[in-house]
Structure 1
């Protein structure tokens, strides 16, 4: 019965935290984590233990795929140098700093590096804690970093566990091979899964079947990556980025609306449930510690949390000088941010699901048969740091205001540009479209007049009290408008391909076009 009780309770907690976040302004993940800690105090839930496979196979592929799907590929290209540095060198530097800190507390180097690997990557879903406060540019960079750095952390984790469990010796060639397999194999698996399912999607017209294909893509990529011992996390991310590029081209409006509605709800449940489960699991982590070990671990939690912030801020300040030394091109100078903005980014390095998964995936025993050394300390410290690292969410809005970050007007400017260009292109193509659709001259004149009067006809409803609203003429009119929408959508895709607008702008415009298309398709006049 515990499973059913857990589902009902977590669902109720998510509703309460959602309402509480809206009324108090406190980030929902913070409330969900606190609620999970309180639930863990109850005997019914206190004994719950979350298998690492549940996090790795259920939560991560879906959450990271959806985050990648909603991430701007253009922004990743634009800030690829910074993203590469933070997702590779910063991860290794962070793991080393955490390992050195843990070793100073008496933890042997092997387990200390395992702990460092668990806490090195930031979390893509936890970044949403501050998403509403940050400019699009900064939040996109944080998300992209979080999506990529998991692969590096998992390689470090695998190497460190191998040293502890079997005593294997590491060489530069071995480390390089592991990185190549993790990144290359993971990305290849994600690309293969996305391309296969997208090719199949072109021949699927049923809305539910198309939505099911979207559901299968991240898990297929993750499975393929696991089969070749590569990074399933990177596979899900690569698949999400590819599908985001192809969805506007091959998907239908009803299918897209079905997918967005379904995945928005699913990811809300998964993300919220994960933070609640982290809170519940913290009780099990506490029970694994005793006496002096617990006090030592509490001290490690506090010190490591500070080390994580310090290393991240130091890296962001030092790496920028390295980049400026190597690249002084004018376009590179346009990407620079101020010192206060780097402080904000330094405080936004939240930990979450991947750290949780790595910690509870630590083996319980080594090849010699004895218990994995300091496993309870690793699990407890990881849980503790995840919780502590969310505390900046309380004062980060004030820090963001202090940073006086410039207003990001680019999205609205690009949106206005996209509306102008799509309406212009559709207006120019209107005579051709009317001829292709066999539209009457009165219908052509009516729509042409509306499009000239309105920059975007989607906000108007010209059917109300129209003089030619007879069913036949209205059906004629709707067909022509559907052709106009198709022309606008083609123009949007071309603007995105030419990098004149961002993926987020395309999605906003596409949402409006899809809603209008669905309304026209459901118009009773078309059934006459």
Structure 2
């Protein structure tokens, strides 16, 4: 392992340059990284790469899910909960069912249980790929929120299907009563353990004398504790990380200092940057090992099976997207839905075309045991691995490269935010400045008369001019300014909750600005 260290070090450097290249040529970096891994795997003398599925599940998955749960808007997640829930659970199940019947009918030696196993593996779209692509094109906020919310939950639902199918293949039977109880425990237990661990860490952050460094160390440990605790309890580690991450994200302003919040953004962005780069490169690097295990099945036949399953996934997701819209249009006559407007025929197609597969699918396929309990080889394991690789590669290349063009060609209006983002941001700033000025004048009128710095603040909020900070500020002035910053922070949080269609990204920008203002006081 030590002699291969320079290779892996060079791999990280190459990943950094490829991601920069992807930004320059405006291509989603997972596409370039998979092709890069595929290319160097064919070079003679390259050290063989064996991907341990436990490495991906334990090392990679918890932090990536945790960071995503902090980045997503909880308000948007709740607003679009019905369609997110339908895509994350109902569509994943229907996709696995479709793959099971197609594989059973067209692939020799595939039973329905094996088909469900394959369906559970390839059913969840990859959030990282979609997110990387959507950076280059503007899509309505509701669509990005739905995709982000779906990606947080579909990994859990697909892995639950995968586990049930694995038991059915290994034992040759499927007991519905046991499966129902297990499914209920995996859902409730995963969420419960995630919330409990999140509450414990939040209490530690809040009541123990932590500083920025210890906050960062605790934040990195948190998703691993959530995941491992849930898995040890035989429930869903994915749901534990997601639910715990959402809890801590929503309470971040109660237990983290401004320094820790600002440092956390940089730490987590850098950590996930490296993890995402490595995992997509490893997907390509693993091809020789996958191909060598095909045995009696020819490579051309295996590629054909992979393309067949890919077609089922693509068309199935598009049909599901249209089905979800039709269901919503019918349901709005009987129940209150998040939006009663007809989204048209363009939005479902784009939503259906965002079904790139990635790391979770590969990790699940690799986690299939080599042998059954009786010592016999696990049926079709190598073919399932190869089909999974083909699905990942084709969806990344076909959908990943064409999605920006499809979005630009179709043109999706943002009905929730018709005004430019800068206009919305400026309006929020004006309202926030007016709120701060009113608070300063009403509560600190006496200090306002005798402190020049506070008069500068009042002038700044009155005419939106830039403030020149004096070198030395009295403690009284700092206390007043901190109180005003907290008032502005609370006002922003309340406004975000009160206005359903307000873009939370704008609110978060202003909250970050307030954290930066608070940081400045440490050096004055």
TM-score (normalised: structure 2): 0.92
Cα deviation for residue 516 of structure 1 reads 2.0
2:156 maps to 151
Could you tell me which of 186, 208, 222 is aligned with 1:217?
222
1:373 maps to 379
Aligned residue for 1:362, secondary structure, equals: coil
Pair 1:3–1:74, CA change in 2 (3 A): farther
Cα deviation for residue 493 of structure 1 reads 2.1
Aligned residue for 2:376, secondary structure, equals: coil
Cα deviation for residue 366 of structure 1 reads 1.0
Cα distance in 1 for partners of 2:3, 2:330 equals 59
Could you tell me which of 165, 171, 174 is aligned with 1:166?
171
Is residue 2:343 matched to residue 1:340?
no
Please tell me whether the aligned partners of residues 485 and 513 of structure 1 are also in contact (alpha carbons under 8 angstroms). yes
Cα distance in 1 for partners of 2:245, 2:199 equals 11
Could you tell me which of 176, 181, 185 is aligned with 1:177?
181
Cα deviation for residue 266 of structure 1 reads 0.2
Is residue 2:497 matched to residue 1:490?
no
Pair 1:519–1:32, CA change in 2 (3 A): same
2:40 maps to 39
Cα distance in 2 for partners of 1:435, 1:238 equals 44
2:20 maps to 19
Cα distance in 1 for partners of 2:505, 2:140 equals 13
Cα distance in 1 for partners of 2:336, 2:193 equals 37
Aligned residue for 2:125, secondary structure, equals: coil
Pair 1:430–1:47, CA change in 2 (3 A): same
Please tell me whether the aligned partners of residues 165 and 365 of structure 1 are also in contact (alpha carbons under 8 angstroms). no
Unaligned runs of 5+ in 1: 464-468, 524-528
2:85 maps to 84
Please tell me whether the aligned partners of residues 282 and 384 of structure 1 are also in contact (alpha carbons under 8 angstroms). no
Cα deviation for residue 44 of structure 1 reads 4.6
Question: After the TM superposition, which of the residue ranges 385-394 and 497-506 deviates more from structure 2?
Answer: 497-506
Cα distance in 2 for partners of 1:477, 1:269 equals 43
1:399 maps to 406
Cα distance in 2 for partners of 1:2, 1:337 equals 56
- RMSD between aligned residues: 2.3
Cα distance in 1 for partners of 2:37, 2:446 equals 60
Cα deviation for residue 124 of structure 1 reads 2.0
Question: After the TM superposition, which of the residue ranges 287-296 and 85-94 deviates more from structure 2?
Answer: 287-296
Could you tell me which of 99, 105, 108 is aligned with 2:107?
105
Cα deviation for residue 376 of structure 1 reads 0.2
Cα distance in 1 for partners of 2:4, 2:183 equals 38
Aligned residue for 1:125, secondary structure, equals: helix
Question: After the TM superposition, which of the residue ranges 365-374 and 471-480 deviates more from structure 2?
Answer: 471-480
Is residue 2:276 matched to residue 1:275?
no
Cα distance in 1 for partners of 2:435, 2:383 equals 63
Cα distance in 2 for partners of 1:376, 1:15 equals 32
Unaligned runs of 5+ in 2: none
Cα distance in 1 for partners of 2:395, 2:468 equals 53
Cα distance in 2 for partners of 1:113, 1:218 equals 29
1:187 maps to 191
Cα deviation for residue 505 of structure 1 reads 2.7
2:361 maps to 355
Please tell me whether the aligned partners of residues 67 and 125 of structure 1 are also in contact (alpha carbons under 8 angstroms). no
Pair 1:433–1:32, CA change in 2 (3 A): farther
Cα distance in 2 for partners of 1:208, 1:238 equals 24
Aligned residue for 2:126, secondary structure, equals: coil
Cα distance in 1 for partners of 2:166, 2:57 equals 17
Cα distance in 2 for partners of 1:332, 1:209 equals 41
Question: After the TM superposition, which of the residue ranges 318-327 and 31-40 deviates more from structure 2?
Answer: 318-327
Pair 1:522–1:302, CA change in 2 (3 A): same
Is residue 2:124 matched to residue 1:121?
yes
TM-score (normalised: structure 1): 0.91
- Number of matched pairs: 512
Pair 1:390–1:427, CA change in 2 (3 A): same
